[in-house]
């Protein structure tokens, strides 16, 4: 017997990904779209086939989802969300 929670497993959503600073350089673009159900899945999608530099940048980056810091990689993403990839910044 299926429960309501089981039937609401996160489905992949199309999200906008914006790359800043070193992430922009590593991925060669300011913005892209991707499909993922969670932030962790999005990171996996972005690293699939990416070069070593891009993977390293993602490992060190912080993420904003709809302008809010997100550290829980299992939290669901929704269609239309905007995910900002923010690598560590130097300077002041």
Angle of CA points 58, 50, 44, to nearest 5°: 60
Report the predicted TM-score, pTM, of the whole model to 2 decimal places.
0.85
Supply the pLDDT for residue 58. 94
Higher pLDDT, 66 or 89: 66
Predicted confidence (pLDDT) per residue in 15-66, tens digit:
999 999 999 999 999 999 999 999 999 999 999 989 999 999 999 999 999 9
Supply the pLDDT for residue 18. 98
For residue 84, pLDDT over 50 is answered with yes
Reading the block at residue 42, the tokens are 């999005």
For residue 3, pLDDT over 50 is answered with no
H or E element: which one contains 16? strand 13-19
| 3 state SS of 83 | strand
Higher pLDDT, 80 or 88: 80
**Alpha helices by DSSP H, 13-91:** 22-27, 39-47, 52-60
- The alpha carbon dihedral of 30, 54, 57, 80 has a sign of positive
Supply the pLDDT for residue 89. 79
C-alpha 92/C-alpha 53 separation (Å) is: 24
């Amino acid at each position: 017997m299926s429960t309501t929670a089981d039937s609401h497993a996160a489905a992949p959503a199309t999200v906008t990904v914006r790359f800043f600073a070193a992430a922009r350089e590593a991925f060669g673009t300011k913005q892209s779209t991707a499909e993922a159900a969670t932030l962790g899945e999005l990171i996996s999608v972005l690293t699939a086939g990416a070069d070593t530099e891009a993977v390293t940048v993602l490992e060190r980056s912080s993420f904003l989802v709809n302008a809010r810091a997100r550290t829980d990689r299992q939290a669901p993403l929704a269609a239309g969300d905007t995910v900002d990839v923010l690598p560590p910044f130097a300077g002041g």
